[in-house]
């Protein structure tokens, strides 16, 4: 598909599109930013290839789409507190983000979107999977939708699956508040503030239970939802190259960094954009 400004190449039926014909190293006209943002709303995650973005340019690009915020547990790179390094080194076995999640849902106002640019990638492996949470909600039975309508998920920064993926990074690059416990309650089903569509909004990395229920009582329902929301027909897969950039909508999607490149190096830079309180 092509509009007047760039080419759109969907990569899967559920979500995801590559955009071609845009040079992100230059300031983008307002019309292009609006068009890219619409493609993001339509496809939930968008990708660009061969973008040589300096930290300055990466941050300027992010500001064109929202307000960059600092990650609560890691220090940013020198001179750019909003940009964190997401890396796995050859001697490491656990990767950052190697669990299905939407970013930092333990915040009272989780980020609306995330930008991730690849600096170094392994010869093979290190792909990222994405899952459409609109579809995950829409494919539930009417009875399950009714049940979830009254529930709030409790998200915690201390959940074990999440903590393990960032443990080494905190030891080496942790911020002054790296051990702070963050907890937030959000609707199990949220309404996207721009599209008006409903999306399933629990995730395996951070959701520990439902408000008003014990963790043990919550566990069977959460386990069903965690498995349901990543069904293959809801997903797409992206293979990174150095200079690849992804932008994804955290309000209606989840992602998972595949850990299949032991002994190799993978280095990315990430920025998250401020969001609002889920409703």
CATH 3.60.130.10 is the classification of domain 7-273: yes
pLDDT at 161: 54
pLDDT surpassing 50 at residue 173: yes
pLDDT surpassing 80 at residue 274: yes
Catalytic: 186? no
Domain coordinates of the chain in residue numbers? 7-273
E strands along the chain, which residues? 7-10, 17-20, 45-48, 68-69, 84-88, 113-120, 128-132, 152-156, 183-187, 189-191, 198-200, 207-210, 235-238, 245-249, 253-257, 266-273
> Per-residue pLDDT tens for 44-88?
999 999 999 999 999 999 999 999 999 998 999 999 999 999 999
The residue written with tokens 């599209």 in the block is 195
The per-residue pLDDT of the chain, averaged, comes to 93
pLDDT surpassing 90 at residue 7: yes
pLDDT surpassing 60 at residue 165: no
Q: What is the DSSP letter of 265?
A: -
Give 166's pLDDT tier (boundaries 50, 70, 90): very low
User: Residue 211 in contact with residue 151, Cβ under 8 Å?
Assistant: yes
CA distance 213 to 186: 14
Q: Which residue has the higher pLDDT, 167 or 107?
A: 107
pLDDT at 159: 78
pLDDT surpassing 70 at residue 140: yes
Catalytic: 228? no
Given 37, 101, 166, 186, the catalytic residue: 101
Q: Which residue has the higher pLDDT, 243 or 5?
A: 243
The torsion region of residue 9 among left (phi > 0), alpha (psi -120 to 50) and beta comes to beta
Given 37, 103, 186, 251, the catalytic residue: 103
Average pLDDT over residues 108-117: 98
**Residues 6 or more apart in contact with residue 256 via CB below 8 angstroms:** 97, 98, 99, 100, 101, 128, 129, 130, 131, 230
Average pLDDT over residues 15-30: 95
Average pLDDT over residues 226-230: 98
Catalytic: 78? no
The residue written with tokens 């080419």 in the block is 7
Given 186, 255, 266, 269, the catalytic residue: 255
Q: What is the DSSP letter of 234?
A: G
- Residue burial 241-250, b: 16+ Cβ < 10 Å; e: rest: eebbbbbbbb
In terms of Cα–Cα distance, which of 83, 74, 117, 276 is closest to 194?
Answer: 276
Q: Integer distance in angstroms from the first to the last C-alpha of the chain?
A: 33
Average pLDDT over residues 26-35: 94
* β-strand partners of 87: 267
The torsion region of residue 205 among left (phi > 0), alpha (psi -120 to 50) and beta comes to alpha
Q: What is the pTM of this model?
A: 0.93
Average pLDDT over residues 140-164: 87
Catalytic: 269? no
pLDDT at 164: 55
């Amino acid at each position: 598909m092509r509009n007047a400004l760039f080419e759109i190449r969907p990569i899967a039926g559920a979500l995801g599109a590559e955009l071609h014909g845009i040079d992100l190293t230059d300031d983008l006209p307002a019309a292009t930013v609006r068009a890219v943002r619409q493609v993001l709303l339509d496809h939930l995650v968008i990708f660009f290839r061969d973008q040589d973005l300096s930290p300055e340019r990466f941050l300027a690009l992010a500001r064109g789409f929202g307000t960059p915020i600092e990650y609560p547990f890691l220090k940013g790179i020198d001179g750019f507190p909003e940009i964190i390094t997401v890396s796995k080194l050859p001697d490491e076995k656990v990767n950052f983000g190697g669990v299905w999640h939407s970013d930092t849902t333990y915040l009272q106002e989780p980020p609306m979107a995330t930008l991730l640019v690849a600096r170094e990638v392994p010869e093979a492996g290190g792909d990222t999977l994405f899952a459409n949470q609109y579809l995950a909600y829409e494919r539930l039975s009417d009875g399950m939708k009714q049940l979830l309508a009254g529930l709030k998920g409790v998200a915690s920064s201390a959940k074990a699956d999440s903590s393990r993926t960032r443990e080494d990074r905190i030891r080496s690059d942790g911020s002054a508040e790296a051990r702070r416990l963050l907890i937030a309650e959000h609707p199990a089903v949220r309404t996207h503030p721009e599209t008006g569509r409903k999306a399933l909004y629990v995730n395996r990395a951070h959701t520990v239970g439902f408000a008003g229920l014990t963790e043990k009582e919550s566990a069977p329902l959460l386990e069903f939802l965690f498995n349901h929301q990543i069904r293959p027909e809801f997903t797409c897969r992206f293979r990174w190259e150095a200079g690849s950039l992804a932008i994804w909508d955290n309000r209606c999607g989840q992602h998972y960094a595949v850990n299949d490149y032991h002994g190799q190096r993978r280095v990315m830079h990430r920025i998250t954009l401020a969001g609002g309180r889920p409703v």
